[in-house]
Structure 1
Amino acid sequence: MIVRTRFAPSPTGYLHLGGARTALFSWAYARHFGGTFILRIEDTDLERSTPEAVEAILQGMSWLGLSHDEGPFYQMQRMDRYREVVAQMLAAGTAYHCYSSPEEVEAMRERQRAAGEKPRYDGTWRPEAGKILPAIPADRKPVVRFRNPADGDVSWDDVVKGTITIANREMDDLVIARPDGTPTYNFCVVIDDWDMQITHVIRGDDHVNNTPRQINILKALGATLPLYGHVPMILGADGEKLSKRHGAVSVMDYPAQGYLPEAMLNYLARLGWSHGDDEVFSMEQFCAWFDLDHLSKSPAQFNPEKLAWLNNHYIKQADNDRLAGLVKPLMEKDGANFTNAPDLQAVIGLMKERVNTTNELADAAMLFYRTPNPAADLLAQHLNELSRPALQDYAARCQAVEWKKDALSALLKEMLAAHKLKMPQMAMPLRLLLTGQLQTPSIDAVIELFGRDTVLARLTKYL
């Protein structure tokens, strides 16, 4: 069997983390077996689907690098196919016209609720042997309902949850086409999975209730059933369903916040799946390892701190040139002056060890690209009768010293010995005069990157 998986989002909003994880699992399963991964846009909800949402989904998939082999297919472009199958089912007797109005259906449900019964369509227009149907109302267009089996069970071996069995009597006759002929979600999904020869459906467990209906329609069509796997939802740290109140839930919020796609992919892969104790791995490793046997039956909990830790790991591993391309636009917006300034890639190499996001990296790197403005109280505290002579001596010796970190470090130690000072007594005022702040990476590395001319200009300004 050639594995064929699909990701089929509805374009009614952004690509959220749960959807991205579903896409990742479906993509990885296809890659593991050398199969085909299909992208399908389920855009039949005309009131809520928007071109902007479609673009947001495509952007999110592109940023994550989850490339599809076929598609994207759009359901609204397949209307003729759906109508063709509806007509075939009407002719075969597996579907029928229903003229009950929405008000009549709601009234029958109210009666059932009052009687303590499960509310459902009561089959008024369902053809049965010997049954006389009501007179067709004038000027009323019918819906088309699927003739769900009245007896027996529908059962499937869910690759995540195990065997699930639902009695057919628990399901009423599903509307598969609206009065205007537009097919409904559950019907379109079935025809798409059938036509596209989907072998494995991996999706969120909010779709479990749809699955028995879809299986019955596939059986009525004589189609081969895919294997289904329903992955538990992602919860926030408070144990509630992940939502906006937990922070960013749109995938495209994360590049804006300074996260790398490889960190997000690695993190999503571990939400509901495991490979021993492995926490950090490439997508090549993930695709080689990924199987459906190790998908968790329990909801995963989103941990922003864990994601930040992974992002720190991948930032440290990332090429400095790539990181420079990400942070430079942010720094330019913040007023960075790159004229006669240190090489940005070199600065990134120094600063990236201590940040969790590229936004933090941009902020940290700014100390090399703006004119320092030390606070008067800090100058008074750190530029005193002990440090000033040592700094003046240091500035004079900087005129001729080899401008390398080791030589600059050695010179600083000479000044400390000569003036009988401890490192903070020189390093703190140096940081203050050169950067305007007291916290920086190693001071000799900072001095090296600034360059001789900038260091001397900033020291002599205050000495």
Structure 2
Amino acid sequence: MTITVRFAPSPTGYIHIGNTRTALFNWLFALKHNGQLILRFDDTDVERSKAEYAEATAADIDWLGIKPVRVEYQSKRFAFYDAAVAALKAAGVLYPCYETPDELERKRKLRLARRLPPVYGRDALKLTAEDRAKLEAEGHRPHWRFLLPNFKDDPFAPARTIVHWDDIVRGEETVDLASLSDPVLVREDGTYLYTLTSVVDDIDMGITHIIRGDDHVTNSGVQISIFEALGAKAPALGHHNLLTTVSGEGLSKRTGALSVGSLRRDGYEPMAVVSLAVLTGTSENVVAMPDMASLAAVFDPKATSKSSSKFDPAELDTLNRTLIHAMPFDVAAERLREMGIDGDKAEAFWLAVRGNLTRVADAALWWTVIQDGPVSDEPLAAEDHDFVAAAFDVLPQEPWNRETWKQWTEAVKTQSGRKGKPLFMPLRIALTGLASGPELADLLPLLGREGTLARRP
């Protein structure tokens, strides 16, 4: 049996880091078990679902390194849902209900006042065929509820009915079906809810394991019952904790907070985003993993906390620096060329500056320094002007290499008597215009003797 998981986002906005956590947990689980992942868009909400959001989601997960075996769209699968609804109706476990939202709210409040659980009382089951015909003649359209198997003989006398499963993430989990309302599977307008479509697709696509947010724990008890009503065994289930913003707010596509696209545009490396999205809220140290295979090797769903975890974008900078400082030139080369960083000096330049970058794009500043001259953020102090001018008089002859900086500063030290920071800092400012940056031993050969002399004050 091939392990098959799925990531099933709704294309109603751009996916955020919370959605990404679910996609990554599934992908890493598949990698760890030589399995496969299906990308399945829950796009049955025609008004809110947009093709642009589906395209952006596919691009985002590809950038992260998630490679689905295929892509499915629920909007193309209505025939499967029609057949499932017909089967449930034939089995007598899908029944029509006619209450309006206001009527349901009044009934809920009445049950609370009587100190009863605020669940649907199955009043619609008492309607006769004549009652239903009369309601429909008056213009009422039914929504359809699934009759939960939480009773012995009398559906109006629900009894404690425990659904058990060994959760991939949380361990032993239980849900009491008697504490739940019969779920609506078909709306008044005939459209289907995710509770139904998800089960039908999981059966048809051979999904073996479902890993999703822990806000679906209770929903799992319902869906296990629907699997069984359709003659199928539910996949193994896992529910990971949710990510929040630093302030503890929930993530939402509507706000665009921490969207994958925004993090990508901000210049973060995919493995920095992946590492933080997966390792936050687990017992593993949050470190920058070099690639997906390395992360899969340490990934353990059961190491995940049961409480929500805060995703701090500030931590991305640290992880990003780690990845960039070790990034080979051939990995960065294409992006460098797009910034105009090319030619014989490009590789040596990258190796010289990468240790001082937070993002690859930051290299552009140092390329400007090398090609065009110092930036003016840090002016040379007046008392250092003559010292620097004299230092240029003892520049070594070419050819230059990494030892040239040492040779030059030794000569300047002998000439001026200066040492340490009073010696090095004025030279750095004269050469780069900045008080900090890459090792000048690495930059000097890139400048060359002629380029260095051109910076003489």
TM range (shorter): 0.7 to 0.9
In 1, the alpha carbon distance for the partners of 2:366 and 2:257 equals 23
Shift of 1:169: 2.5
Residue 77 (structure 1) aligns with: 76
TM-score, normalising length: structure 2: 0.86
Q: Which among 217, 225, 231 is matched to residue 226 of structure 2?
A: 217
Where 1:412 maps in the other structure, the secondary structure is: helix
- Is 1:93 the counterpart of 2:101 in the alignment? no
- Over the matched positions of the two proteins, sequence identity in percent amounts to 34
What do the CA deviations read for 1:359-380 (whole angstroms, capped 9, x no partner)? 4444444422444364796352
Cα deviation, 1:226-245, whole Å, max 9, x if unaligned, reads 1111111124445554579x
CA distance in 1, matches of 2:381, 2:431: 12
Mapped partners of 1:275, 1:373: distance in 2:
42
1:27 aligns with 2:35: no
Unaligned runs of 5+ in 2: 152-159
Q: Which residue of 1 aligns with 2:369?
A: 367
Q: Work out the CA distance in 2 between the residues paired with 1:407 and 1:433.
A: 17
Residues 1:248 and 1:111: Cα distance change in structure 2 (over 3 Å): closer
Distance (Å, rounded) in 2 between the aligned partners of 1:218 and 1:319: 49
Tell me, yes or no, if structure 1 residue 162 matches structure 2 residue 168: no
Distance 1:30 1:364 in 2: 41
Q: Which residue of 1 aligns with 2:418?
A: 421
Q: Please state whether the residue corresponding to 2:173 is helix, strand or coil.
A: strand
Matches of 1:119 and 1:376, distance apart in 2 = 68
| 2:118 pairs with 1:109 | no
Does residue 320 in structure 1 map to residue 329 in structure 2? yes
Cα distance in 2 between the residues matched to 1:306 and 1:277: 9
Aligned equivalent of 1:171: 180
Q: Is the 8 A contact 1:258 1:360 kept in 2?
A: no
SS at match of 1:136: helix
Q: Cα offset for 1:17?
A: 1.3
Q: Provide the aligned C-alpha RMSD in A.
A: 3.1
Q: Which amino acid aligns with 1:406?
A: E
Specify whether residues 111 and 457 from structure 1 end up closer, same or farther in structure 2 by C-alpha distance, changes over 3 A only.
Answer: same
* Equivalent runs, 1:237-316 vs 2, <5 Å: 237-241=246-250, 249-274=258-283, 280=289, 282-316=291-325
- In structure 2, the residue matched to 1:335 is none
- Is the contact made by 1:259 and 1:357 (CA closer than 8 Å) also made in structure 2? yes
Aligned counterpart, 2:389? 388
Change (3 A) 1:376 1:97: closer
SS of equivalent to 1:137: helix
- Cα offset, 1:123, TM superposition: 1.8
**Match in the other structure for 1:350:** 352
Change (3 A) 1:113 1:275: closer
Given that 1:39 and 1:73 are in contact with CA atoms closer than 8 Å, whether structure 2 keeps it comes out as: yes
CA pair 387-166 structure 1, distance change in 2 beyond 3 A: closer
- Partner Cα distance (1:268, 1:376) in 2: 38
Tell me, what secondary structure is at the counterpart of 1:145? Answer: strand
Q: Structure 1: which amino acid aligns with 2:211?
A: I
Query: Does 2:399 align with 1:402?
Result: yes
Aligned to 2:60: 60
> Quick one: structure 1 residues 433 and 165, their matched pair in 2 at CA, closer, same or farther if it must change by over 3 Å?
closer
In the TM superposition, 1:133-172 aligns within 5 A as 133=131, 135-138=134-137, 139-151=139-151, 152-157=160-165, 158-172=167-181
Q: From the superposition, tell whether residues 22 and 61 of structure 1 become closer, same or farther in structure 2 (CA, over 3 Å).
A: same
8 Å Cα contact 2:279/2:285 also seen in 1 = no
The CA distance in 2 between the partners of 1:172 and 1:185, in whole Å, is 16
Counterpart Cα distance in 2 of 1:311 and 1:276:
16
Give the residue type in structure 2 aligned to 1:389.
A
